[in-house]
Chain A
Amino acid sequence: MSTLTATAAPTKLWGGGKSPFNVEYGKLMMWYFLMSDAFTFGAFLISYGTIRFSSNGWPNPNEVFKSFPFAPEGVHAPLVFVSIMTFILIISSVTMVLAVHAGKNMDKSGVVKNLILTIIGGIAFLSCQAWEWNHLHSEGAWWGANPFLNADGTQSSTNFTNYFFTITGFHGFHVFSGVCINIVMLIMTLLDKFEKRGHYLMIEKAGLYWHFVDLVWVFVFTCFYLI
């Protein structure tokens, strides 16, 4: 007993015992990365809010985002297309949880099936966004160009389109990275990498990132399309 305390290194600050967080290092770091990313998105959205609050007029989102693919020109269908995009992302988030859950049970086929569904959801969302951007661009909207009037009929500044394309673009880039990460996870699963390791913890980290992308869309959707 006394020899044990004598040999203990005096510089050691924490000698084990109960783990303070009880999660793996990589998962903890993923959480901290996501927290920093939340501040980046938060800064973008708050900047948008500040500019919107400082403007005398702002375009009505229901007049801007009223189109739908293959619908005739001049159709008035506000919120319809974006709600489909929202549901695509929610469902892909659900399939991701199911993939993580299957991984916990070491169920390889379940992981593969749900990862494929998640990747399809991600690609579907990106396709919707590509269509929407292309449509808005064909209407004359882009960074530095805003063809839409304010809700009260006065001339609008380009702040609206600048913020819209920057923030949805930054989010779309996150979705794209998430799809790439999920494809890597799918390939690693198919190559039995996790089976050999004995755990599917990597899927959990990819899952955290994917849910974060869904989380950000909740905010972007509300701030740009609903209010």
Chain B
Amino acid sequence: MTCALLPPFLPASIGGAVEFIFEPQSSNVTGGKEVGGLAQVIELTITQLEVTAIALAISMAVALPIGLYLGHRGVGETLAIGLGNVGRAVPELALIAFMAAAIGVGMLNVSIALAVLGIPPILTNAYVGIRQVDPAMVDAARGIGMTEAEILFRVEMPLAVPTVMAGIRGATIAIVATATIAPLAGVLTLGDFIINRNVYGADGLLAGGILVALLALTLELLLAWAQRLLTSRGLRLNAA
């Protein structure tokens, strides 16, 4: 009795998926219990956002100080760049499964697992962003008597915003995408429609794909907008 796989061509339609998102459907697996519908979609979306937010907060709390400090001191290039490269090679499914088996399931444990994906891009970009700042500007800041902390916070960081934000955006997209498989570790996100496909059916599967895609695109747009707000006006003029 190996995996009872579904037939490759499932009778999914866009119309059916949209209906699934807005109206609860009766499922033949749950004994007549209704699945889908806007209430469940909202509940799962909130969980996915919650786990993404916690994971992102952990990644930023770990990676930003290290990346900014190393960048300011100009040391640890191998660590900062190498970590980013290794991070890209971590297989998402193995990471979630391993962390669930090693540290356990639940919201916080999944967030920690997801934070592992967020740390490399944030750390690398924070480091690169600070290092890219024109050394002449740092010299000028030192020349007018700024302390090291002032140089970091008032000169280097504002100039590094676009690069640092690119790292945070990359981390967010990686985390929210992988949060889709969080149901494997007991946290019911929108991925439940995908992983529990026999309960939700083909329309639920397609609906899951649509919802996860929309969620990721929305987050990306919001972060792009936040990046514009955070970038100082002088830099924006230069880019235009």
Q: Do A and B come from one complex?
A: no
Interface, chain B (partner A; CB < 8 A): none
Interface, chain A (partner B; CB < 8 A): none
